[in-house]
């Protein structure tokens, strides 16, 4: 029983973190049609900037406020001056460009903060543990489990009930039509890219107290978020939620049941989805 | 008269120039270093470079090696065997180094070492711990002065035998290092305490190297109810594991925990007071272990130069250069083959203690230090108190057990 509950909590908290990062990736793809390889680097930058803010003012809340905003600003610059040039080109140019951005950001982090590991403290009210059966469970992970759906609901409401949300969805479905009815699509694209970067950075800042801040942070998470996005359906918001939860739980329970094969589980799932339902659980028809 | 004056000026200038520092005229000794300088593990190469540069400066200020100034060349292996091999070839054929020093990644070392003999240049390994490079792929050009996996794990097994723990499990990275650590631990512990038992394959935990969230594995190990756990995770993995584990009650004392690479300075500095106290940890070099004047001077100078305490890879690179120097002095000349002969059976005092390079497998017989983590107001990181020094002769497996058939 204890094992079940602990693994459930582990899977849910990791899944929620994965959801935050994947939803940014899938939104950017859905609206702009760009698969952003550098998304993991935004995740990493969010963690580093949060850490940096906390060096100046030891407040985690300030860190998660300022850090992601700074990364969003960087996202605006990258979109306006770099990405915009490759929208009409072959998709391989886009991949090359975002990969190049990833490399530049990774090394920039290493130059600025050094190659070592850093540790960020969780804020006092979230830093404790609660007793769970015969052991303890960190409060911070419970916080992640709660905040994930909250942000999810906020995003979903934004997309479905606000004017801006509907405009974004319209542009995602048909860019030319949206332009035809007067929506300033270039501005929208910049805004959506900044928003996706903001989400990734928020994920990074939230992940920082939970794992060490290091230049390799982005690499491990980007592959998992790609899997989530493909499984859930590219461009689909509920797809990112379901995919992330599924992957989180799979990895958590996989360690119990699958032994050495646990590593392969996300990829097996990916392969199955691509074979049986290539557009993902909630994806639109290609 | 003018001709005589000219001749006199020429003669004086010739004498003057030759009277200048002899280092300026002598051919330099070239040392080529190959470490991971970029990517997620760049810290390790950078630490090694720090140790190396300090040794080079010290030696040059004292007159060089046999009067030759030392020149250091650094190449980036990026942690990939093919890149490392190219870097090493560049050092040997382009830079024409007299000796190769380096290698942090065990995977790279194992791939690269078989190619070293064709380059006819000695390689001194300062960090990579896989037993194989002085074991089943040993060759006469490859030496290692640092503590290897077998030695460190044997020390861990000795510690384990002194506890009351009867059933052991492990959590280690899912590649050769993690699996070999567990394999050697079981072998050595069974030799000392035959009634020990070890958890079956489905109960032990080998998280993939890229894991950042260890909670599922932490839960798995805790649920299996062991008496003792051998932790062979290192670096960033270890930092995450310790943070997440302490939150989940892993270090509450329900079972013994031995962390083979827990005394690494980059881990201790990152964790600071998040590192639990009372944890048995090991390393390849602990800066406070050896009370010798040499070690104390080394630590003091390193701290003054870099504002941090020397890590084991800094010590490794530093020690390799001094080892090479002593071998050169023993051989009497800067000659690759003569120095290889001189390195075999060489005894040299390094900050870690006096090491002895075994002629049969070229592995250094060196001491290991384990200790219990403790807070100390004089240091910003956890230190080890009490410390337990394991003498090299007690923890180094016999040559017949290493699989090395060089001699």
Question: What average pLDDT is seen over chain A?
Answer: 87
pLDDT in tens, B2-47: 777 666 666 655 555 554 444 456 799 999 999 999 877 888 999 9
The pLDDT of residue A182 is 82
Hey, is the C-beta of B313 within 8 angstroms of any chain A C-beta? no
Kindly state the average pLDDT of the residues A34-51: 92
Contacts of A251 in chain B (CB under 8 A): 216
Residue A261 pLDDT > 80, yes or no? no
Hey, is the C-beta of B212 within 8 angstroms of any chain A C-beta? yes
Q: How many angstroms separate the CA atoms of B272 and B227, rounded?
A: 27
The pLDDT of residue A286 is 47
| Residue A261 within a domain | no
| Residue A18 within a domain | no
CA-based radius of gyration for chain A: 19
Structure tokens belonging to residue B49: 């470079």
The pLDDT of residue A211 is 85
Q: Which of A25, A9, A201 is nearest to A105 (CA)?
A: A201
The domains spanning B24-147+290-366 and B150-283+368-395 adopt the same CATH topology: yes
Q: How far is A37 from chain B (nearest CA, A)?
A: 17
The verdict on a CB contact (< 8 Å) between A211 and B243 is yes
Collapsing DSSP to helix, strand or coil, B103 comes out as: coil
CATH 3.40.50.2300 fits B150-283+368-395, yes or no: yes
DSSP A31-61: HH----TTHHHHHHHHHHHHHHHHHHS--HH
DSSP B317-373: HHHHHHHHHHHHHHHTS--HHHHHHHHTT-EEEETTEEEEE-TTT-BEE--EEEEEE
Structure tokens belonging to residue B10: 């020429």
- Class of domain B24-147+290-366 as given by CATH: alpha beta
The verdict on a CB contact (< 8 Å) between A10 and B216 is yes
- Mutation target vs A (from B175, B247, B262; most A CBs, 10 A cutoff): B247
The pLDDT of residue A235 is 78
The pLDDT of residue B20 is 47
pLDDT in tens, B62-120: 999 999 999 999 999 998 999 999 999 999 999 999 999 999 988 899 999 999 999 99
Q: How far is A254 from chain B (nearest CA, A)?
A: 9
Dihedral over Cα of B403, B285, B143, B365: its sign:
negative
Q: Which of B107, B108, B126 is nearest to B174 (CA)?
A: B107
pLDDT in tens, A273-284: 999 988 888 876
The verdict on a CB contact (< 8 Å) between A255 and B239 is no
The pLDDT of residue B19 is 46
| Residue A206 within a domain | yes
Bond before B386 cis per omega within 30 degrees: yes
Hey, is the C-beta of B295 within 8 angstroms of any chain A C-beta? no
* Residue located via tokens 């939803």: A23
Q: How many angstroms separate the CA atoms of B305 and B314, rounded?
A: 13
Q: How far is A124 from chain B (nearest CA, A)?
A: 14
The pLDDT of residue B334 is 92
* Residue located via tokens 């594991």: B241
* Residue located via tokens 């969003």: A72
On whether the CB atoms of residues B361 and B142 are closer than 8 A, the answer is no
In sequence order, what are the beta bridge partners of B124? B101, B143
**What residues have CB less than 8 Å from A152, skipping those under 6 apart?**
A19, A23, A241
Q: What is the DSSP letter of B382?
A: -
Contacts 24+ apart (CB under 8 A), B73-76: B73/B30, B73/B31, B73/B32, B73/B33, B73/B97, B74/B33, B74/B34, B74/B35, B74/B37, B74/B49, B75/B32, B75/B33, B75/B34, B75/B37, B76/B34, B76/B35, B76/B36, B76/B37, B76/B38, B76/B45
Q: Which residues of A19-37 are buried (b: 16+ CB within 10 A; e: fewer)?
A: bbbbbbbbbbbbbbebbbb
The pLDDT of residue A90 is 84
pLDDT in tens, A103-116: 899 889 988 998 77
Q: Pick A216's closest partner by Cβ from B202, B219, B236.
A: B236
Contacts of A219 in chain B (CB under 8 A): 40, 210
Q: Is B71 exposed, middle or buried (0-12, 13-18, 19+ CB in 10 A)?
A: middle
Q: Which of A266, A277, A272, A261 is nearest to A228 (CA)?
A: A266
Q: What is the DSSP letter of B63?
A: T
Contacts of B43 in chain A (CB under 8 A): 114-117
Structure tokens belonging to residue A45: 């930058």
On whether the CB atoms of residues B334 and B29 are closer than 8 A, the answer is yes
Contacts of A115 in chain B (CB under 8 A): 40-43, 46
One digit per residue, pLDDT tens: chain B, 407 residues?
577 766 666 665 555 555 444 445 679 999 999 999 987 788 899 999 999 999 999 999 999 999 999 999 999 999 899 999 999 999 999 999 999 999 998 889 999 999 999 999 999 999 999 999 999 999 999 999 999 999 999 999 999 999 999 999 999 999 889 999 999 999 999 999 999 999 998 889 999 888 888 988 998 899 899 999 999 999 889 999 999 998 888 998 899 999 999 999 989 998 988 899 999 999 999 999 999 999 999 999 999 999 999 999 999 999 999 999 999 999 999 999 999 999 999 999 999 999 999 999 999 999 999 999 999 999 999 999 999 999 999 999 999 989 998 87
Q: How many angstroms separate the CA atoms of A122 and A32, rounded?
A: 35
Q: Pick A255's closest partner by Cβ from B220, B266, B272.
A: B220
Q: Count each helix (H run) and each strand (E run) in chain A, helices first.
A: 11, 2
The pLDDT of residue B143 is 96
Angle at Cα A238 formed by Cα A234 and Cα A241, nearest 5°? 95
Structure tokens belonging to residue B333: 């000349």
Domain that holds residue A195: 25-218
Angle at Cα B176 formed by Cα B233 and Cα B172, nearest 5°? 25
Contacts of B270 in chain A (CB under 8 A): 116-119, 212
Domain count for chain A, please give it: 1
Q: What is the DSSP letter of B248?
A: T
Residue A150 pLDDT > 70, yes or no? yes
Collapsing DSSP to helix, strand or coil, B33 comes out as: strand
Greatest CA span in chain B, whole angstroms? 100
Q: Which residues of B196-212 are buried (b: 16+ CB within 10 A; e: fewer)?
A: bebbeeebbbbbebbbb
Kindly report the pTM of this predicted structure: 0.84
A254, closest residue in chain B (CA to CA): B216
Q: How many angstroms separate the CA atoms of B237 and A212, rounded?
A: 9
Tally Cβ neighbours within 10 Å of residue A224.
Answer: 23
Dihedral over Cα of B62, B68, B69, B72: its sign:
negative
pLDDT in tens, A226-249: 999 999 988 788 888 999 999 999
């Amino acid at each position: 029983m204890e094992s079940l509950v602990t693994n459930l909590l582990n899977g849910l908290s990791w899944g929620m973190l994965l959801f935050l990062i994947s939803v940014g990736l899938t939104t950017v793809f859905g609206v702009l049609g760009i698969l952003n390889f550098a998304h993991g680097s935004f995740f990493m930058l969010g963690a580093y900037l949060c850490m940096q803010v906390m060096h100046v003012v030891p407040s985690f809340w300030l860190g998660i406020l300022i850090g992601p905003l700074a990364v969003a600003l960087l996202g605006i610059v990258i979109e306006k001056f770099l990405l915009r040039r490759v929208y009409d080109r072959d998709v391989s140019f886009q991949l090359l460009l975002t990969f190049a951005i990833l490399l530049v950001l990774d090394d920039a982090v290493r130059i600025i903060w050094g190659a070592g590991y850093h540790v960020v403290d969780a804020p006092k009210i979230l830093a404790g543990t609660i007793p769970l059966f015969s052991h303890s469970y960190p409060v911070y992970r419970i916080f992640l489990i709660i905040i994930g759906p909250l942000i999810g609901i906020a995003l979903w409401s934004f997309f479905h009930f606000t004017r801006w949300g509907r405009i974004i969805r319209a542009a995602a479905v048909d860019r030319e039509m949206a332009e035809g009815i007067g929506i300033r699509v270039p501005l929208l694209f910049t805004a959506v890219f900044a928003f996706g970067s903001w989400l990734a950075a928020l994920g990074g800042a939230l992940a920082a107290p939970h794992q060490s801040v290091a230049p390799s942070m982005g690499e491990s998470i980007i592959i998992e978020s790609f899997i989530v996005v493909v499984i859930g359906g590219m461009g689909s918001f509920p797809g990112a939620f379901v995919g992330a939860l599924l992957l989180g739980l799979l990895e958590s329970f996989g360690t119990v049941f699958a032994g050495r094969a646990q590593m392969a589980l996300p990829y097996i799932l990916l392969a199955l989805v691509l074979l049986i339902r290539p557009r993902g659980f909630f994806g639109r028809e290609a | 008269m003018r001709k005589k004056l000219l001749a006199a000026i020429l003669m004086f200038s010739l004498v003057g120039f030759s009277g200048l520092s002899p280092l300026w005229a002598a051919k330099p000794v070239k040392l080529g270093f190959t470490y991971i300088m970029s990517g997620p593990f760049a810290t390790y190469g950078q630490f090694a470079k720090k140790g190396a540069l300090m040794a080079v400066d010290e030696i040059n200020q004292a007159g060089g090696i046999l009067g030759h100034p030392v020149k250091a060349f650094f190449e980036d292996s990026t942690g990939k065997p093919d890149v490392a091999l190219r870097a090493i070839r560049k050092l040997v054929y382009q830079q024409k180094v007299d000796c190769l020093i380096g290698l942090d990644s065990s995977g790279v070392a194992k791939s690269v070492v078989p190619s070293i003999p064709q380059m006819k240049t000695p390689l001194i390994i300062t960090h990579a711990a896989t037993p194989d490079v002085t074991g089943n792929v040993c060759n006469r050009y490859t030496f290692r002065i640092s503590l290897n996996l077998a030695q460190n794990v044997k020390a861990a097994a000795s510690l384990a035998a002194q506890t009351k723990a009867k059933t052991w499990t492990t959590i280690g990275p899912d590649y050769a290092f993690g699996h070999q650590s567990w394999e050697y631990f079981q072998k050595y512990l069974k030799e000392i305490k035959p009634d020990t038992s070890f958890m079956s394959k489905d109960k032990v935990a080998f998280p993939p190297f890229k894991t950042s969230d260890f909670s599922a594995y932490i839960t798995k190990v805790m649920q299996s109810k062991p008496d003792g756990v051998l932790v062979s995770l290192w670096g960033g993995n270890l930092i995450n594991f310790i943070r997440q584990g302490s939150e989940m009650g892993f270090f509450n004392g329900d079972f013994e925990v031995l962390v083979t690479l827990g005394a690494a300075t980059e881990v201790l500095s990152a964790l600071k007071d998040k590192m639990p106290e009372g944890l048995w940890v090991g390393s390849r070099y602990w800066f406070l272990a050896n009370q010798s004047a040499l070690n104390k001077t080394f630590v003091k100078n390193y701290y003054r130069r870099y504002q941090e305490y020397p890590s084991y890879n800094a010590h490794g690179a530093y020690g390799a250069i001094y080892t090479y120097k002593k071998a050169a002095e023993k051989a009497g000349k800067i000659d690759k083959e003569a120095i290889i002969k001189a390195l075999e059976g060489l005894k040299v005092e390094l900050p870690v203690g006096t090491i002895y390079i075994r002629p049969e497998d070229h592995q250094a017989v060196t001491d290991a230090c384990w200790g219990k983590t403790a807070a100390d107001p004089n240091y910003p990181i956890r230190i080890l108190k009490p410390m337990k020094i394991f003498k090299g002769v007690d923890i180094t497996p016999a040559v017949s057990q290493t699989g090395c058939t060089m001699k």
